[in-house]
Structure 1
């Protein structure tokens, strides 16, 4: 089968370790289902894997990709939940650490992917395969960070660091749909304008002074951490979902305890969270913006697009080449 695979770690030039070509089809195993992938979406996790971050060389070659929607052998249209293992998991050893697809098991950038039965969620008929495939990582992370870890309710004032990426875009759209007051930061004026068009209440340059917020969603780390803490009202909450620029040099613990701040970690979301997110999108008309679509054979170009940092919305890979092409959202 055709697949996009990381064959060696390449920290300085991630695409140098990528191979797009033939790979063995998934082997049958008890408690797992093979899904014919109709659409997959890219995440920065794929670029980190190509650099060898979180994916040691002894696990390579590894098919990339965490997000997908497709069809099972018995004709069910499904969305793949990318988290394998963890509490209550039945299809992997109980002592195996929780992981994402493409960390211990081949991922979704392929014609087929095998996943535990418990990782399959019914695709709502109202969503296309491409629309559904945009949701299981960035959008699911945003959903859980906002409404589960962050406890946001209508009127909650939210700051999200970094306009334009899949996570920030999802936060703006989900927040607007739920009646939240969302401010985003972004270096690029065009991205800030697009965030405003999607429903952000305000869009400012990184580090700019903002009215104190109830909740900060932090995915950047060192570059934005101090600003995140300064922007919180006393008693506010920062939800940490990632650290793309590394650990903060100064964790700001004095401010944390003097102002009674809460620091909460949140990773991805549960299968039940994904079901709720899919239902929300299907019934509300909410959709993930798509930056561009590419055929699986052009996965290298799709990943290169993601690596530029210029994509606004999701970069999607589809199985049908006729569906590929620019689709700015």
Structure 2
């Protein structure tokens, strides 16, 4: 066979490999289910967003997952890979918003193995295999009732460095209840999926600078003042991709150099839970040394931070805890006294810090002295209910301040890093897991079985 004939034969083989893919795509555009199905071998496998489909599941995927959403495609590029597989880059559009959180045409890449004019394996996803990839943990879609089912641990395309941003090689990322909100599709802003999780973290810049990540961002470049009340504020993993990956690209101002001696795992927990606790205790409560505070909880991320910060600052820290083990943990972290949940205290306190919400807010209000402060930062009880009932007569007659906290400012974050380093505080971390076991950590948060912060190392 001549070299010219060989090239023609190879070209025909490439066209043959594309043929069933193109029939499949034609079936999408014409809503012809049978044409789509005829493109597959009887024992074919389809992998869509890391989930495997075969047999009748392929039919359901084509009928309901694609045609059922008025899916339409446009082919941008098609070629054969070195291993002979068919590579196709398409733009897909349709009404995928309600079910998948996708509100605009999106890139999709199809890698197909073809034999006898049929696809026997098709890999579909929004990761371009021709570009560099990294390991990441992301939410595929919002699922209010079963958030853990939305977790994907797979490869994503390497983040592109943008002007005014820096690339961080991530070392450790702390998990937060906010990650559960993302997985449930709940947020201050509409979440666009897929979304990499991770609101905070610690890592190293390309020049070797060790940094902790400040979590707050804004869509308003002109906003001035306290960024925690910026109506356009958001955190990583909400409007922009999060940090639970091998690399993250973040604004320069969010990469804060770590004080000497502050290791990556400790720094990784400070951006959300610890910064929230710092603002609750030192900005909102306005306490003096030796005053008494009640922390509603003993083992969560914010509550363990409050115990350690309050103890280091010279406050008398009381806590509540559901079990003896949780109460003993609080004592080991510096609490002076512990009580069972909703127990009547020996006397009222100067401030109460409430992270649970509906289950504890009434107890918090009755436990604080006249003129005292109750600081709320969470709705982690009763399934995240936001509906509470409080005694307004008690509130205004005793001139109690009831206030909320949402993380903290960048200046407060810098002060927090310095305080933790200067006091030699070792943030309590209950569990350290590799990236591949992230589901285990998120399951603990969802089920309320955490014991301190959970850190993912990368």
Q: How does 1:290-309 map to 2 (within 5 A)?
A: 290-309=429-448
Alpha-carbon displacement from aligned partner over 1:182-237 (angstroms, at most 9, x marks no partner): 11112112101110121111111111011201111122111111101100111111
Residues 201 and 29 (structure 1), Cα distance of their counterparts in 2 relative to 1, 3 Å cut: same
More divergent stretch after superposition (302-311 vs 266-275): 302-311
2:303 alignment counterpart: 168
1:250 alignment counterpart: 389
Structure 1 CA distance, aligned partners of 2:180 and 2:191? 18
1:218 alignment counterpart: 354
Structure 2 CA distance, aligned partners of 1:180 and 1:133? 25
2:158 alignment counterpart: 25
Structure 2 CA distance, aligned partners of 1:57 and 1:239? 27
2:124 alignment counterpart: none
Residues 96 and 311 (structure 1), Cα distance of their counterparts in 2 relative to 1, 3 Å cut: closer
Q: How does 1:1-329 map to 2 (within 5 A)?
A: 1-54=134-187, 59-85=192-218, 97-210=232-345, 211-245=347-381, 246-319=385-458
8 Å CA contact retained: 2:188, 2:234: no
Structure 2 CA distance, aligned partners of 1:56 and 1:35? 25
Measured after TM superposition, the shift of residue 262 of structure 1 is 0.9
CA RMSD of aligned residues (A): 1.9
Structure 2 CA distance, aligned partners of 1:253 and 1:227? 14
Alpha-carbon displacement from aligned partner over 1:55-113 (angstroms, at most 9, x marks no partner): 777601000011210011122111100001178768xxx99710011010111111111
Residues 11 and 274 (structure 1), Cα distance of their counterparts in 2 relative to 1, 3 Å cut: same
Residues 55 and 27 (structure 1), Cα distance of their counterparts in 2 relative to 1, 3 Å cut: farther
Residues 88 and 201 (structure 1), Cα distance of their counterparts in 2 relative to 1, 3 Å cut: farther
**What secondary structure is seen at the aligned counterpart in 2 of 1:268?**
coil
8 Å CA contact retained: 1:147, 1:153: no
8 Å CA contact retained: 2:322, 2:340: yes
8 Å CA contact retained: 1:2, 1:297: no
Structure 2 CA distance, aligned partners of 1:79 and 1:61? 25
Structure 2 CA distance, aligned partners of 1:89 and 1:72? 27
More divergent stretch after superposition (139-148 vs 275-284): 275-284
Unaligned runs of 5+ in 2: 1-133
1:322 alignment counterpart: none
8 Å CA contact retained: 2:191, 2:238: no
Q: TM-score, with normalisation over the residues of structure 2?
A: 0.66
8 Å CA contact retained: 1:9, 1:57: no
**What secondary structure is seen at the aligned counterpart in 2 of 1:283?**
helix
**What secondary structure is seen at the aligned counterpart in 1 of 2:157?**
coil
Q: TM-score, with normalisation over the residues of structure 1?
A: 0.91
More divergent stretch after superposition (163-172 vs 55-64): 55-64
8 Å CA contact retained: 1:83, 1:101: yes
Structure 1's consecutive aligned runs of 4 or more residues displaced over 4 angstroms after TM superposition are 55-58, 86-90
8 Å CA contact retained: 1:49, 1:55: no
Tell me which structure has the larger Cα radius of gyration.
2
Structure 2 CA distance, aligned partners of 1:103 and 1:249? 26
Residues 318 and 240 (structure 1), Cα distance of their counterparts in 2 relative to 1, 3 Å cut: same
Structure 2 CA distance, aligned partners of 1:213 and 1:87? 40
Structure 2 CA distance, aligned partners of 1:165 and 1:194? 11
- Count of aligned pairs between the two proteins: 316
Residues 308 and 98 (structure 1), Cα distance of their counterparts in 2 relative to 1, 3 Å cut: same
